[in-house]
Structure 1
């Protein structure tokens, strides 16, 4: 399998090269030259593998379709090292729980070390990085941006890893106290936290700018862990298959009705940077029977606006709202470019032109393009928006009716999922984003009580913190990296 850039650079690259590279040299994002296809027969085989051998075995079967430059035995061992019951709490790794009797399910993705879905990919990424760097006898300086959960997941996955330093930018003062404490309390020498005076989009712009300075990137061996890194998105594809297999197993309707193909499901995904739902897009393109992929946004509704109107309009810092689902306080969705590339028939020149237009004008408009007109039918996307009031109401309702406590982002997902056309034959799976403790203040506002806190995180907010505050200035971030790579 080879990889190409969404902006037209067709230079053939293998997985391990793009694993360490992040952005393509032309500023685009990497995608495989094609999506491997899963037949109905193969889907049944993967179901059996998941049931009998577990999540790690399923992950190996999916990943090996895209990774042919790591020996199969090594790749299997990396999956087995990553996806263990000790790390993720259950044999299923991503168990499904039913929410009432209306066909709505929650897929639990937040049982890992930092209590957020980002652990699902980041734990694998840390092991892949360490493995490949050891093979090459090289080091890597990881530069990332986080709106809340990516940073802690990356730092917990990379702490103490040989040959790796992490430089994680975050918007100063815009994460929850728990999220800040998870990151800033780490004392490992290879972890560096940089709080940027600005919003998440400023952090993300800095990461892209540094990645596009090819001389600096080469000199300091800069890599990325944000979802612009294909390896991270690929790891997320696996839990769409696992969720599907659980939602369609007995005693539900037969997964293979005679003459009809496989039973279908839908997913609703709380979305800010489009990485999580883009993994669902990849799974659907591979042949996983997904009816709809529903993008759930908060008040920062750039993605909802696009799927409703065809207009992609990014917003400046002054119009990027600080909300109670802060991990989605994003108005420039990096992974969206991958979907646009597929929407435009994998036309790299056209994709480049659109995103260069965004850089100049802050928007593009596909409302009159026939390719957008049938996008819902071709790709299954729908969307919706949730507000703070919606969040509170959904958290209360879910607790009072079902005894299930959910975080603010998952509440956005549930609210939007319930607005979609219901079908008794198509289960709707909402992807859980994080555990409620990460957003304690809003849970208390909604329920009048604090969520449970895992014992290992007791008193975390009071721990000493290691963080450097910098302005939203690319050069100052570069200087900081250079000074700490001696």
Structure 2
């Protein structure tokens, strides 16, 4: 399996296909594009039948070996077995089996319509990001040991990526983590999860701005190729291909657990801000997984919803980005969106480059097909099964109350966005699976507002906000950020 950049045609440096291990540590391609396989591996019905009997770790191995063909299968199997254990994903709710890793729970079933919640938040940081990040930590350590090398991870988070990355990388040999987050714009729990870590290889930087400012700095540093090489910079954001492909696994797992035969289809609703999570669903669908619809659920920062309704991709400025009660989706520039657009325009790298250059110069692009627009590619979106919807703060409160009253479980704010939008897209005969984002305890302020009582916390997280915190506050100045990185790596 080989990989190319979404902008490959414009750069000789990225025209030569790469293997999985070549792109694992790097993040962005040298030309500023994102890596994708030259073609998506296809899954047969016979394979799906055989995979129904597998554990999560075994399923992860079967899927990942299609993408990481340059890693010896025995090594890859050992890595997935080490990652996906009941001990690592131990925070299962009452009635869930930890060994299932991503158990399903039926919420509604009426008139042929079925709504199911897939638990993805039983890992060490109580968020879906653990599903990929724990594997990424083990893959990084494996690859660095092979090369006797070091890696300085430079990433950005709107809430959950940061803690998942830090918990996956803490104590890993040869790895430092520099994690940017928007200052005072995460929940108290999310902030404490990150900033309370005292490991010397973890460095937290609170940026005066919004998440998009953090993400722009990551891309700016990654695009400075001499600096990136000298400082041995890599990334764990979903621009990293390994992050995305690890997330493909739970789409297969959800489908196989929700169906009994391969002639059945399911749909997925995915709370989405940066498009990484739902991009993994797109890849699963391209591999042949029988997915009817992929529904992107947004909050008030509805850039993706606007695109899937109108064909207009319009990035908001920092001042136009709302700080909401589902803060992990407070994003107005979806960095993974380029991977889907690349497929949408027929894998035309020049077209993709032109569109995303327009994002930088004009704040977006228009594929709606009206006179004066960029073309009629938007008419092809339906072929890929995408739909979308929007949820507001009041919607979140109402949905949290409904789910608690009707099913006796407390969901987090992002999952509430997902359930609200999923209900609007139910159809007879097709099970709708909502991907859980996090456990409710991470967003207790809103849970308290909705239910009048605190969310239950897993053992070990009772007083996390009271722990000492270690972080620095910086402006969104790229030059100063580079100085900080260089000073703290000693390179």
Mark yes or no: TM-score above 0.5: yes
Answering whether residue 378 of structure 2 is matched by residue 372 of structure 1, we say yes
Taking the aligned partners of 2:479 and 2:117, their CA distance within structure 1 comes to 43
Counterparts of residues 273-352 of structure 1 (less than 5 Å): 273-352=274-353
Q: 1:450 aligns to what SS in structure 2?
A: coil
Taking the aligned partners of 2:426 and 2:238, their CA distance within structure 1 comes to 30
Taking the aligned partners of 1:374 and 1:156, their CA distance within structure 2 comes to 40
CA RMSD of aligned residues (A): 0.8
Counterparts of residues 125-204 of structure 1 (less than 5 Å): 125-204=136-215
Q: 1:134 aligns to what SS in structure 2?
A: helix
Taking the aligned partners of 1:158 and 1:113, their CA distance within structure 2 comes to 12
Answering whether residue 445 of structure 2 is matched by residue 441 of structure 1, we say yes
How far does the alpha carbon of each residue in 1:283-302 deviate from its partner, in whole angstroms, 9 at most, with x for none? 00000000000000000000
Counterparts of residues 200-279 of structure 1 (less than 5 Å): 200-249=211-260, 255-256=261-262, 262-279=263-280
Quote how far apart the aligned CAs of 1:44 are.
Answer: 1.0
Taking the aligned partners of 2:25 and 2:216, their CA distance within structure 1 comes to 19
Residue 122 of structure 1 corresponds to which residue in structure 2?
A: 133
Q: 2:425 aligns to what SS in structure 1?
A: coil
Quote how far apart the aligned CAs of 1:69 are.
Answer: 1.4
Taking the aligned partners of 2:52 and 2:252, their CA distance within structure 1 comes to 8
Taking the aligned partners of 1:334 and 1:317, their CA distance within structure 2 comes to 15
Residue 485 of structure 2 corresponds to which residue in structure 1?
A: 481
How far does the alpha carbon of each residue in 1:230-254 deviate from its partner, in whole angstroms, 9 at most, with x for none? 00000000000000011113xxxxx
Residue 56 of structure 2 corresponds to which residue in structure 1?
A: 55
How far does the alpha carbon of each residue in 1:252-293 deviate from its partner, in whole angstroms, 9 at most, with x for none? xxx14xxxxx21000000000000000000000000000000
Taking the aligned partners of 2:412 and 2:438, their CA distance within structure 1 comes to 6
Residue 78 of structure 2 corresponds to which residue in structure 1?
A: 77
TM-score, reference length from structure 1: 0.96
Residue 4 of structure 1 corresponds to which residue in structure 2?
A: 4
Match of 2:23 among 18, 25, 34: 18
TM-score, reference length from structure 2: 0.95
Taking the aligned partners of 1:189 and 1:354, their CA distance within structure 2 comes to 41
Taking the aligned partners of 2:359 and 2:246, their CA distance within structure 1 comes to 29
Quote how far apart the aligned CAs of 1:17 are.
Answer: 1.1
Taking the aligned partners of 1:480 and 1:371, their CA distance within structure 2 comes to 43
Taking the aligned partners of 2:395 and 2:462, their CA distance within structure 1 comes to 30
How far does the alpha carbon of each residue in 1:370-423 deviate from its partner, in whole angstroms, 9 at most, with x for none? 3311311x1000000000000000000111111111000000000000011421
Taking the aligned partners of 1:144 and 1:69, their CA distance within structure 2 comes to 26
Taking the aligned partners of 2:401 and 2:15, their CA distance within structure 1 comes to 50
- How many pairs does the alignment contain? 470
Match of 2:124 among 113, 125, 129: 113
Name the stretch that deviates more: 81-90 or 105-114.
81-90
For structure 2, the residue ranges without an aligned partner over 5 or more in a row are: 9-13, 91-97, 370-374
Q: 1:374 aligns to what SS in structure 2?
A: helix
Residue 408 of structure 2 corresponds to which residue in structure 1?
A: 403
Deviating above 3 A after TM superposition, structure 1's stretches of 4 or more consecutive aligned residues are none
Taking the aligned partners of 1:10 and 1:37, their CA distance within structure 2 comes to 24
Taking the aligned partners of 2:389 and 2:15, their CA distance within structure 1 comes to 35
Taking the aligned partners of 1:101 and 1:287, their CA distance within structure 2 comes to 26
Answering whether residue 440 of structure 2 is matched by residue 429 of structure 1, we say no
Taking the aligned partners of 1:278 and 1:461, their CA distance within structure 2 comes to 33
Taking the aligned partners of 2:443 and 2:138, their CA distance within structure 1 comes to 29
Contact 2:344–2:380 at 8 Å: present in 1 too? Answer: no
Taking the aligned partners of 2:467 and 2:396, their CA distance within structure 1 comes to 30
Residue 422 of structure 2 corresponds to which residue in structure 1?
A: 417
Taking the aligned partners of 1:404 and 1:291, their CA distance within structure 2 comes to 27
How far does the alpha carbon of each residue in 1:98-157 deviate from its partner, in whole angstroms, 9 at most, with x for none? 102240000000000000000000000000000000000000000000000000000000
Quote how far apart the aligned CAs of 1:39 are.
Answer: 1.6
Taking the aligned partners of 2:400 and 2:5, their CA distance within structure 1 comes to 41
Taking the aligned partners of 1:308 and 1:101, their CA distance within structure 2 comes to 28
